[in-house]
Structure 1
Amino acid sequence: MIDQELARNADIAVWAAMVALAVAMLAFAAHLAVTGSGRERASEGVRPSGVDAQSAGAAAGESGRGESEGGESEGGESGGGVDVLAPPETDAPAPTRRWGIIGLQVTWLATFALVAAVVMRSLSVGRAPLGNMYEFALVACMFTLVVYSLWSLRKDRLWLGLFVTLPVLVTLGLAMVSWHTEASKLMPSLNSIWLIIHVTIATLSVALFTIGCAVALLYLAKDRAEQRGPVTGWLAALPESKALERITYGIHIVAFPLWTFTLIAGAIWAEQAWGRYWGWDPKEVWTFVIWVVYAAYLHARATSGWAARKATWLAVAGFVSIIINYAVVNVFFVGWHSYSGL
């Protein structure tokens, strides 16, 4: 029995999550602006080094000797040298984390709202909410927010908040406007335990790949800015490019085995449902294409002949393949996996 009222409540919870994400985006954007501006002003007040520091030290020494010979200074105060090793005096305030903390707190509210939406959708249909594009989008967005929120409890990832909440908000908007389907029973061919195993791991993989792509793009932008000269604006709020590249690689190291399991589990399910492990269905082909692209990224990243920047573009290409697989193949290609529900 389908509970349409509970399904409508689930949709309301999704809309509430979208409102919270919009607020979180604004707070995270303010955090980047304030932090970047603060670090930019702080970098302008760095004390001199090298030849300038030696010149300043020599001038300070001469001033000190002159004042010691003359006793007291002209103003009646005892003279003394300038301490060039003292921290520079600057009017630039320390960057505040207030806006970032607000953004993270509101992101947690959005996460709770989306978890509630997924639970209510599941209860309304009496099954795992993984039967069509709309439900897949909800669960993938939920995993993305959960991963980012939990990660932020262990590490300072406020600089990443805007670039996680933005794709999640866009995906939820498309889910509600273009991919939404009424609560309904599961198609007979999907009624299998492999639906939960295969699709759940797939959604978790997509969540990790989403965050990984966001960090990859930030690395490419920060690396380009560092090559041009001093980093200014909101890019100054980001970690150094080398750190961003390491984070990108680390996320994909976790996500790639999960996608590999998704591919294998899908083949096992296909054998049980259709009597063959592989049939060159468009969905199967693109799932394999995604695997190949990400395998190429990890291989290029581990190869000394490849620059990190070139290898990272392969990671971005992998996520583009995911978008094509989900938003194009599901909608416009007809095959055994035509379960979009549209």
Structure 2
Amino acid sequence: MPVEVDVGLATLSDQLTLATVLLYIVAMIGYALDLGFGRVRSTAKARTAGEPALVTVGGDAGGVSQDIPRDEAPEEKAPPAWALRAAPVALALTWLGWAANLAAILTRGWAIGRWPWGNMYEFVVAMCFAAVSAFLFMHLRYRNLFLGAFVTVAAALGLGFAVRYLYVQAGPVVPALNSYWVAIHVSAAIIASGLFIMAGVAGVLFLVRKDSAVRLPSRQDLERVAHRAIVVGFPIWTFAVIAGALWADKAWGRYWGWDPKEVWAFITWIAYAAYLHARATAGFRGRAAMIVQLIAFACLMFNLVGVNIFLGGLHSYAEVPG
């Protein structure tokens, strides 16, 4: 018996996805305005009000360094009022985009009566939702608002790529995907991927950040955000790999079959395990650890997108349009 699709809900889901892209883009602009014209964040926190500041007289390498009391140092010009409002507005738009993203996922699922991540389009939409959710959670917990511009632009690009190149109409899936394991295995992979995306954004910023970029977060803050996200995401990814093996045994009668998706999921697991091991090693911090983390992130992206596009295998039912 063919499954009927609620066309109205499916259309609403598509429209909500487009609205999400727009909201994330506008939010990104707000975060960018805050970074460019708002208050300086990356300052020497160790200085106290009475501590002297080291100022170079002459403006070049040959100048003479003098200790000038902080009270006599030139004060930073106060940002304009509109710049102070940019961050709260951007955060509000991010929450609206997050709600629209969630509504798009739910209406897609209700339209067809199944879990709404049975193909690459649905998976990427859910993965972008997870990335923004991770950012908002981290902001509520640690006040990491500085990542807003970069996470929202990554989510907007991901959703735009899904709409432009991966979109398929809502419809039934192959019998292998009609299983409760979708809610277990794929959901865990989506949550972990969202956390890894935020860590990847922090890692890229860590490598490209210049010492003179006083409005960006410090490298220590970026490394801390990446590490926290991976510490949470790694056990969830581990669970996703194990659940995938259990699902494979139920669907195909074996736990492991060297399918490309299985292989790259395991490679990704090894790469993030290598990062955590390296991070726990005394003295292995900073740039070297971030490079290992970004290698793991590249493995993740190839596993999530590249395998389905270029390698196929038993997971080719993900319906990547030709």
Matched with 2:290 is: 312
- Aligned to 1:285, the other structure's residue is in SS state helix
Residue from 111, 133, 145 that aligns with 1:158: 145
Unpaired runs of 5+ residues, structure 1, are 57-83
* Residue 149 of structure 1, CA deviation: 2.1
- Bigger share in helix: 1
What corresponds to 1:329 in structure 2? 307
CA contact (8 A) 1:101 1:158 kept: no
The offset of 1:181, in angstroms, is 0.7
What amino acid maps onto 2:102 in structure 1? V
The answer to whether the 8 A contact 1:47-1:87 is kept is no
Identify which of 103, 109, 134 aligns with 2:90.
103
CA contact (8 A) 1:7 1:124 kept: yes
Q: Distance in 2 between matches of 1:220 and 1:22?
A: 24
Q: 1:298 is aligned with what amino acid?
A: L
TM-score calculated relative to the size of structure 2:
0.86
The Cα of 1:250 is off from its aligned counterpart by: 1.3
For 1:55-134, list aligned pairs within 5 A. 84=69, 86=71, 88=73, 90=75, 92-93=77-78, 97-134=84-121
Amino acid in structure 2 at the alignment position of 1:118: I
**Which amino acid is 1:316 matched to?**
L
- Which aligned pairs between 1:1-342 and structure 2 lie closer than 5 A? 1-35=4-38, 48-49=53-54, 52-53=66-67, 84=69, 86=71, 88=73, 90=75, 92-93=77-78, 97-222=84-209, 225-226=210-211, 231=212, 235-304=213-282, 306-342=284-320
CA distance in 1, matches of 2:21, 2:262: 32
Rg comparison, structure with higher value: 1
CA contact 2:13–2:103 (8 Å) conserved in 1: yes
Give the deviation of 1:150 after TM superposition.
3.1
Cα distance in 2 for partners of 1:323, 1:38 equals 31
Q: Give the length in aligned residue pairs.
A: 300
Q: Deviations over 1:65-87 (max 9, x none)?
A: xxxxxxxxxxxxxxxxxxx5636
Q: What is the Cα deviation at residue 89 of structure 1?
A: 5.0
Determine if contact 2:16/2:101 at 8 Å carries over to the other structure: yes
Alpha-carbon distance between aligned partners in 1 of 2:112 and 2:181, rounded to the nearest angstrom: 18
Shift of 1:139: 1.1
Pick closer, same or farther for the CA change 1:39–1:273 going to 2, 3 Å.
Answer: closer
Alignment-mate amino acid for residue 21 of structure 2: M
CA contact (8 A) 2:42 2:216 kept: no
CA contact (8 A) 2:53 2:70 kept: no
Q: Shift of the alpha carbon at 1:319? A: 1.2
Residues 294, 315 of structure 1: 8 Å contact kept: yes
Q: Structure 1 residues 255 and 38 mapped into 2: Cα distance closer, same or farther (>3 Å)?
A: closer
Aligned to 2:58: none
Shift of 1:47: 5.5
Deviation at 1:317, TM superposition (A): 1.0
Identity %: 37
Taking structure 1 as the reference length, what is the TM-score of the superposition?
0.82
- Which deviates the most, 259-268 or 98-107? 98-107
CA drift of 1:307 comes to 4.2
| Unaligned runs of at least 5 residues, structure 2 | 56-64
SS at match of 1:52: strand
Measured on the aligned residues, the alpha-carbon RMSD in Å equals: 2.3
Aligned-partner Cα distance in 2 for 1:308–1:31 = 26
Distance in 2 between residues matched to 1:108 and 1:253, nearest whole Å: 25
Secondary structure class of the residue paired with 1:335: coil
